[in-house]
Amino acid sequence: MQRRSLLRGLAALGLGAGLAGCNRYDPTALTVTALRNTLPPQLINRFRQEFPAQALRLQIKTTPQDIFNQLEADTPTTQWLSLGDAWLKLAIETKTIEPLRTLPHWANLEPRWQQLVQRNERGEPDPQGKIWGLPYRWGTTVMAYRADLIQPTGWWPQDWEDLWKPELTQKLSLLNQPREVIGLVLKKLGQSYNTADINQVSGLKPALEELRQQTRFFASTDYLQSLIMGDTWIAQAWSTDILPILNRYSNIKAIVPKSGTALWADCWVKSTQTTDTTDGGWLEFWSQAEIANLFSQFSLAISPFLTDFQANGPAKTVLLPNQPTFQTSELILPLSPSSQAQYDQLWSEVMLSG
């Protein structure tokens, strides 16, 4: 589902109709665009209770591309949009979002989340850059596996290096994402997902070639069906895709690889088209520790403002690895044109060859 949740959301719980009054045009309404099934209905109701004088109009989109399309063709009515971190650079370059002037509770964010949204005018990470969004949910790339099929082998998946085991030949599915796949190989070799000069990484190409031979297929949508059917034994998966599956199939498990993994985040960004200079309480609401803890309990993602780390929600049970693993996990950041060209060339030579 392209790194997005299958959790029941507004429409599934009947709140689509409940918000219909908010969706009628109201020039004073706070207009927010988000992905379907990402905002817990309980917290939408909570916002309305905390800000009773602020009318709320939600626009729900199906894909990240839909949100970016709206951003490009937006009208002055939309104040806030949920944008994936992978889209930040393009949004900044095309001047469809504007930097934020004030951010509530900014100091409570870990440096990694601050660095994600602090960028220059080219959309590149820059500690001296402006702040272009507020991260409000995050997740990971995990290894999902069929426990019943793995058990006879006498071992359990622990880390990326396990994907090269001979008994997994043609038993893997990997995301059809070059940075994700090359990144996991870099992690196996003790390198960073954001390595700038991969031509200097010894053994990278042979390891990637071997991994390709292990892999049954590459896909970023509908890839978990093969794991459910037993055609694959291990799947590289986005956390919001696999978490609903874990609730339905007891023979499927998921782990965060112990050497670290890729992180992703969605951010609240402000359209350059809006004429509203206030946030309507929206950023303040999602920055509160209490709301962050509830969000991480009710949804299939975790708030970067989380303070309660006890596993009392589906996302937290799987996505909160031990501290060393979390510290070695990384957000996939934009590369320079020359570095990106190296990744593109390697992917073409290994994955797209005959």
Alpha helices in 101-255 (DSSP H): 111-117, 147-150, 178-188, 204-214, 225-229, 239-248
Encode 262-288: b = buried (16+ Cβ within 10 Å), e = exposed: bbbbbbbbbbebbebeebbbbbbbbbb
Q: What is the pLDDT of residues 236-282, one digit of tens each?
A: 999 999 999 998 999 999 999 999 999 999 999 999 887 666 677 99
Residue 24 has pLDDT above 80, yes or no: no
Residue scoring higher pLDDT (18 or 137): 137
* Rounded-to-integer distance, Cα 93 and Cα 114, Å: 19
Tell me which of 21 and 214 has the higher pLDDT: 214
Please name each of the domains of the chain with its CATH number: 15-138+264-320 (3.40.190.10), 141-262+334-351 (3.40.190.10)
At 72, the pLDDT band (50, 70, 90 cuts) reads: confident
Taking the model in full, what pTM does it have? 0.89
218 vs 233: CA distance, rounded Å: 14
Q: Is the pLDDT of residue 12 over 70?
A: no
- Give the residue-averaged pLDDT of 188-210: 97
Q: How far apart are CA 235 and CA 248, in angstroms?
A: 17
Instruction: Please give the structure tokens belonging to residue 213.
Output: 């031979």
Q: Which residue's structure tokens are 């960004």? A: 269
pLDDT value of position 129 = 96
Over the stretch 100-113, which tens digit does the pLDDT of each residue have? Answer: 988 889 999 999 99
Return the pLDDT at 8.
29
Residue 139: C-alpha distances to residues 60, 286, 308 (Å): 20, 16, 16
Long-range contacts of 150-159, Cβ-Cβ distance < 8 Å, separation of 24 or more = 150/233, 150/234, 157/234, 157/255, 158/255, 158/257, 158/258, 159/188, 159/257, 159/258, 159/259
User: Other CB atoms closer than 10 Å to residue 18's CB: what's the count?
Assistant: 13
- Report, as an integer, the average pLDDT of 61-87: 86
352 band by pLDDT with thresholds 50, 70 and 90: confident
- Read off the DSSP letter of residue 73: T
Q: How far apart are CA 248 and CA 157, in angstroms?
A: 21
302-346 pLDDT, tens per residue?
999 998 887 666 667 778 777 788 899 999 999 999 999 999 999
What confidence score (pLDDT) does residue 4 get?
A: 33
Q: How many CB atoms lie within 10 A of CB 323?
A: 9
More confident residue, 36 or 76: 36
**Any idea which of 58-67, 205-214, 236-245, 277-286 has the lowest mean pLDDT?**
277-286
176 vs 26, more confident: 176
Q: In the chain, which ranges are E strands?
A: 30-35, 56-61, 80-84, 97-98, 118-119, 130-131, 134-146, 172-174, 215-218, 234-238, 252-255, 262-271, 330-331
- pLDDT recorded at residue 27: 65
